[in-house]
Structure 1
Amino acid sequence: MRGPQSEFDSTHDYYVGLLELAYKKINKPLTIKLSPYMVQQRALNELKAGRLIDIYWAGTDSERESSLGFVPIPLVKGLLGYRVFTAHQSAAASLAQISTLDQLKTHRLCQGAHWPDTDIMIAAGLNVMPNAIYENMFKQAYSGRCFAFPRGINEAHSEVLSRKKSMPELIVYDKVILHYPFPMYFFIKKSNETLITDVTNGLNKAIEDGSFDEYMKSHESTKHLFPLSKWKLSTVISIDNPFLDPKRDIKNPKYWVDLSH
């Protein structure tokens, strides 16, 4: 398993713990060893080749699903596709004026060079400045090189909190939310059928008995999201995800959360 993206990668523990929960549900032992950090594309290449890592969580697209095995269960129930804005506090007034996609298009956004999010945003006509290094995007948003760094609603608050000493004026603006259907999956080498089956069975058991939801409601990186009704007053700007398999049942409440109502 890949190590954290930086010392401030506050969401890494969520996915490790979710994998541990899955194995607890199927009563199988689990040993986790962390590799050194690597950028997303290299991690996917290592996974395909069967080197260094044998499981990796990432947002999906059709190319990844065709070249890798995966567990088709959204790891944060689709909340990764609800993007709030990490920015310097001086951008708050401008963010407060945004209520439409056209208004958002006038601002430059930081986003990961190898992330499917970047392609999704560009396809919607947004102005995106890609960067391969996770930590650099926070620095760019903080310095004003980009207007904001859209982050998953499950990621942003803990990420900003962990940087309070080094970036005291970094904020999360969540009164405006950019949304596209975007599941985060566990990816696994196709030939590792046992691992795919075990993780799938374990996560489904956790969903069925309610422990998946309880984990989300109690973990440090996601507990602030609940109750979900708190997001009803936020403005949600929705865009399409043309890279998502149309067969995905994104309306199934068993696997997906909808904040737009």
Structure 2
Amino acid sequence: MLIIQRVSLLSWLFCIGILTCIPNSHAVDTFKMNPPESENDHRYQYTYDLLTLIIEATNNDFGVASIQISDDTMSRNRNFRELLEGNNINVMAEASNAQWDEQLIPIKIPIRKGIQGFRVFIIKDKNVSIMAKVNTLSQLVALEAGSGSQWSSKAAMQSAGFKVIESIHYDNLFNMLSMGRFVTFGRGINEAFKEIELFKSRYPDLVVDNHILLHIPLATYYYVAPDQPRLASRIQEGLKRIIANGKFDELFYQRHCDFLLKSNMNHRTVFKINNPLVSEAEMTSIVGKDFLINPSSDFSTLCEKYH
């Protein structure tokens, strides 16, 4: 059995399936996770739900567990400091980062199959024609791009020559784009379409470009506080089990097929840039290359299997 402790910010987080909520005091392991950055930020829900499956798969040998979501919204750098201490949060799903790799316990299984590395661009509707004329990487690089200040994709884009306009605040980037501070706002295909829907009442001029796909090797790993090796072992073992029994792919495709189909990757102009922070060999060291998303896959057939 699993506990998910409800908090005001995440009132929509609920016990699913056969799970029974029990008092937190009975839990053997407590997974303390970061909250979303705002009420519009749904990026972490998949990571909470995946951890639910991990715990279910390891109940027999590790015992019952609880997931707690912190009340404190924090920047990525503060999340790192909190993880080092292991009090407020002790587990977080985050993009691969050398500092995090060295000072925390990384579980190097890319839990989003690299999907966030396939970047489409949110743009102003008046700039659709500009993007339609982009046929080379140098033309794309010449357009000012927006990014979170602490995002790993920012380093890759800067290394490739992009001029990146930054903000530390997630919501503010959409306002900056609408105000014309930059032309392109690269988002993973698992993010862009949902964000357009979430922000359309505030920024009806924003759309997803349907021409370009930028591939940046990106991995999201679970990172665990250095004083919690048991939690790290449980996560890695649980991930291996649900990958082997098919439950990982079931959850992944149920949550991502809409975006995979909408992105129409096979009909886009694709540019790939290197990521100085991520090694593709490292991404596949535990799970193999076939685990990652292949943009040439027939997602229509694949997604029918999981719906």
Q: TM-score range by the shorter chain?
A: over 0.9
Q: What is the Cα-based RMSD across aligned positions, in Å?
A: 2.0
Name the counterpart of 2:141.
Answer: 105
Name the counterpart of 1:71.
Answer: 107
1:232 alignment partner, SS class: helix
Distance 2:230 2:290 in 1: 24
Native 8 Å contact 2:98 2:277 kept in 1? yes
Match of 1:153 among 171, 179, 189: 189
> How far 1:21 sits from its partner (Å)?
1.3
Deviations 1:156-214 (A, max 9, x none): 11111111222222212243111111101111112311111111111111111111111
> How far 1:258 sits from its partner (Å)?
2.2
Deviations 1:118-157 (A, max 9, x none): 1111111111112111111111112211112111111111
Native 8 Å contact 2:113 2:291 kept in 1? yes
Name the counterpart of 1:23.
Answer: 55
Name the counterpart of 1:243.
Answer: 277
Name the counterpart of 2:223.
Answer: 187
Distance 1:87 1:30 in 2: 43
Name the counterpart of 1:204.
Answer: 240
Distance 1:133 1:141 in 2: 13
Give the length in aligned residue pairs. 259
Native 8 Å contact 2:95 2:220 kept in 1? yes
Name the counterpart of 1:133.
Answer: 169
Distance 1:133 1:14 in 2: 21
Deviations 1:13-43 (A, max 9, x none): 1111111111112224332222221111111
2:209 alignment partner, SS class: strand
Native 8 Å contact 1:207 1:254 kept in 2? no
Match of 2:132 among 76, 80, 96: 96
Which structure has the higher relative contact order (CA within 8 Å, separation 6+)? Answer: 1
Distance 1:135 1:208 in 2: 37
1:185 alignment partner, SS class: strand
TM-score (norm 1): 0.92
List runs of 5+ in structure 1 lacking aligned partners: none
Name the counterpart of 2:201.
Answer: 165
Q: Does 1:256 align with 2:289?
A: no
2:291 alignment partner, SS class: coil
TM-score (norm 2): 0.79
Q: Does 1:32 align with 2:67?
A: yes
Evaluate the alpha carbon distance shift between residue 205 and residue 174 of structure 1 in structure 2; reply closer, same or farther with a 3 A threshold.
Answer: farther
Q: Which runs of 4+ in 1 moved over 3 A?
A: 225-230
Distance 2:229 2:112 in 1: 23
